[in-house]
Amino acid sequence: MTKTFWLVFLASACMGASALQAAQPTKESLSRDLEEVARVARLMVDGDVCERIMTPRALEKMFANDPRDRWAGSDNFDVNHAPYVQIKKTLMRLARLLPYPVDCNLWMPFKDRPGKIQILVRNKHEMSQFWTWGVLFQEQTAEMAEVLASERPKTVAQKGDWVSVLTPVSNSLGDIVGLVEVVSRLEVNWQKYVK
Amino acid sequence: MGSPRATELRRLTLTAARNGYVSFYLAVKEPRPGPYSLAVSFNSGATSIQSELFKAWYHQFRPRRTYVPDALIPVLNPAKGQLPDPDNRVPDQSCQTFWVDLWVPPDLPPGLHRGRAVAEARGKKVVLEIQVTVLQATIPDEDALTIDHNSYGTGWMGPLYPKLSRSEGEGFYSSDALFKLIHAYHRLFYEHRGTFHQLGYGHGGKVGPEFAPVLTGEGRKRHIASWDLFDRHYAPLLDGSAFRDTRRGPRPIPFVYLPINPEWPASFLNWGEPGYETEFVTVLGEMEKHFRETGWTATNFEMFFNHKKRYKGFHWDGDETRFAKDDEPMLEYSRLLKKALPPGSPVQFVFRHDASWRLEQQFQSLAGAVNFWVCSRAILGWLPEELKTVKQRGDIVWIYSGAPSISSTASAIIENPLRAWMWNVDGYIHWLAVSPSEDPWFDSGGEETCLVYPGERFGIAGPIPSIRLKVQRNFAQDLALLKILEHTGSGAILRQELARRINGSKLEDWWTPRPAMADLPSEEWTNYEIEGGVEPNLHVFQNWAPQFWEGIRRYILDLAEGDKKQ
């Protein structure tokens, strides 16, 4: 039943992909496509499962500030396998709604660290408009804070040929617990971040 | 290098085994600005010593605001130059140093060979007589130890070779120019008795197109659609033809990363489902067939997982695993690999794991799955007995670390390979060896991730060596000679004797006492406990003089010559 639903859903979503109809995608057509994927992501990404990804121990160690061991946060980073895999697969399916390279990344803020956020699930094209490569966590951008507060998606397309759509993720209580970044660019760099 | 003994700078005497290099460092000094020339020559003949000159570059070393020589620019022989060097821009430079490599061919008659170095400046000529005693002993072609130089992807090549990449435009990363450049890196390391690795995928599973065959289809329909880029990249390396014009001759590379990762060749979307197994097994089976049919059977094809969960691409650590639950995916990949390969295949696939925190446990939990271990030297340091067990079952074992700074003592580069040899493991890997500072020439940070430099600045469309690489190569030659001696005597006795000669230590001093924390779960360890506990022992041979190895080399050459005469 679930798989049937997905097939129907994928077909209808792909039909709406404007980049399919355009010979040369533009940032505008990219934005429209990604906004459609983000609309689906808003519904399909389960915030309760997202909240179960991090292990409590890793969350605690993430902010450890030990001058003798500057890698303590990274070396103790850990996730629970089952929820991670479940969410990653959902994000991968969402990215496949479009026929060109798209990544859907999960971003999670911290309950007790206002203003901080971490990218928690990335995907295979290694694209993100916001992630500082390699950092465990970082400051929320103004766009992220806006989406988390307003509970409305936002398209960010100021930087080069990048387009990201940020959409909120909610749990069963209706709380906004994270963001999905649906991201692509006009020219994919196949060598970048092969490292 | 090479046992130099100069008498008032007029005579240099060296001793060398055949089929190898003997080297020395030569300085041209002229207090007044102006041109100079330098020539090194030997009696010509059908077979003679061949000399090569490399001009040292003086890097502006940022931390100490001083100049340090390291990069070696190949120059013509005779070399013509100017003091101060207008390119290097060292204020008031009155001395230019050259690294001189003398190649001693394998068929050169033993005995005394004479040559000379002639420097000329301002109409004045200075002659240095060079006497090389060529021994009967011959350095074997085979290395005693694999000394590997690691790198990641090809994205760094465009920025390091801007003229070359600009000339190829957008197609650079699929151009013949790129593959020639990659092969040039392999050749340079090979000529220096090393190997070169390039990992072809990222932490999220993105595979560089030049590192993998093109796939098509999904599930049952997944297959390899094209070998074009892969074969243009790898065929000359895997059949050895990329090394045809080297002194060591053509030989397939001994190791290569495969692009296998959790997202390739099977899509992670199907992880844990039948489709994942089908995609993985089908593609690996097709790879085995391609390698077998093309005769690429001399290389170890590595299934290796480099990803770490801290980079948020996957849920488990493939590299330096710290959590026991992360062994489970590795056991699954071992099962899939075994299922994909036909029994008795002549193609050598190995499962490599780079291990640190859980090394001791994984030697057992992944036995029979992983058969190529690249180990933290600090942690392997307290596991000598476990190492014996792993070696006895036929696994390959290397240790890893990084290169010393250009400001370190000249002999520091041999520390890790020497430790690897003392421990009787199979190899040592510099974790990153091709990544210079943003401006290595005028604002160097120490080049601890760089043993070869981009040559484009000097009109060379490929990498150029460094002093550290040359010192390492000459050391590797000594190890290769020792390997002959191991065949005729006890390796343990030989190592014991070398330890004694190096610093009066015993072989057991080169290992670390097991720290108390080793009995705790590795999740409870900290980096400073590991480093604090073992570093003093890691540097058992600390404070050695830059030239300390010369005495050991002399001993090895004497041994090798004695062995030859027996």
Looking at chain B from residue 160 to 179, which residues have their Cβ under 8 Å from any Cβ of chain A?
Answer: 173
Q: Do A81 and B315 touch (CB under 8 A)?
A: yes
- Higher pLDDT among residues B202 and B532, named by residue: B202
CB nearest to A190's CB, from B209, B271, B272: B209
Query: pLDDT band at residue B414, thresholds of 50, 70 and 90?
Result: very high
Residue A6 has pLDDT above 70, yes or no: no
Which of A10, A65, A75, A121 to mutate: most B Cβ within 10 Å? A75
Query: pLDDT band at residue A7, thresholds of 50, 70 and 90?
Result: very low
Q: Do B152 and A194 touch (CB under 8 A)?
A: yes
Q: Do A193 and B203 touch (CB under 8 A)?
A: yes
Mean pLDDT of B496-518: 90
Q: What is the pLDDT of residues B5-37, one digit of tens each?
A: 444 468 999 999 999 999 999 999 999 999 999
Mean pLDDT of A35-42: 98
Residue A89 has pLDDT above 90, yes or no: yes
Q: Please check whether residues B61 and B159 belong to one and the same domain.
A: no
Q: Name the residue of chain A whose CA is nearest to B262's CA.
A: A124
CB nearest to B268's CB, from A68, A88, A194: A88
Q: What is the pLDDT of residue B4?
A: 43
pTM over 0.90: yes
Residues of B with Cβ-Cβ distance to A88 under 8 angstroms: 268, 314-315
Q: Do A191 and B208 touch (CB under 8 A)?
A: yes
CATH code for the domain of B47? 2.60.40.1510
Does residue B475 lie within any of the structural domains?
no
Q: Please check whether residues B155 and B134 belong to one and the same domain.
A: no
Sorted by where each starts, the structural domains of chain A and their CATH numbers stand as 2-185 (3.30.450)
Q: Please check whether residues B352 and B413 belong to one and the same domain.
A: yes
CB nearest to B315's CB, from A69, A79, A193: A79
**Over chain B, what is the mean pLDDT?**
94
Which residue is it, tokens 């959409």?
A167
Q: Please state the domain count of chain B.
A: 3
CB nearest to A123's CB, from B201, B204, B207: B204
Positive or negative CA dihedral for B70, B72, B77, B79? Answer: negative
Residue A14 has pLDDT above 50, yes or no: no
Q: Looking at B464, B487, B522, which one is the last position of a domain?
A: B464
Q: Please check whether residues B398 and B272 belong to one and the same domain.
A: yes
Query: pLDDT band at residue B491, thresholds of 50, 70 and 90?
Result: confident
Residues of A with Cβ-Cβ distance to B206 under 8 angstroms: 124-126, 190, 193-194
Q: What is the pLDDT of residue B566?
A: 42
Q: How far apart are CA A148 and CA B89, in angstroms?
A: 55
Taking the mean position of all CA atoms in its chain, how far away is CA B116?
A: 32
Q: What is the pLDDT of residues B101-141, one digit of tens each?
A: 999 999 999 999 999 999 999 999 999 999 999 999 999 99
B215 neighbors B265 (Cβ within 8 angstroms):
yes
Q: Please check whether residues B26 and B109 belong to one and the same domain.
A: yes
Residue B560 domain boundaries: 495-565
Q: What is the pLDDT of residues A128-142, one digit of tens each?
A: 999 999 999 999 999
Q: Please check whether residues B94 and B112 belong to one and the same domain.
A: yes
Question: How does strand B427-430 pair with strand B396-401?
Answer: parallel
Residues of B with Cβ-Cβ distance to A72 under 8 angstroms: 526-527
CB nearest to A89's CB, from B269, B322, B523: B269
Q: Does A59 touch chain B (CB under 8 A)?
A: no
ipTM confidence: 0.91
Does residue B483 lie within any of the structural domains?
no
Q: What is the pLDDT of residue B534?
A: 61
Does residue B470 lie within any of the structural domains?
no
Residue B471 has pLDDT above 60, yes or no: yes
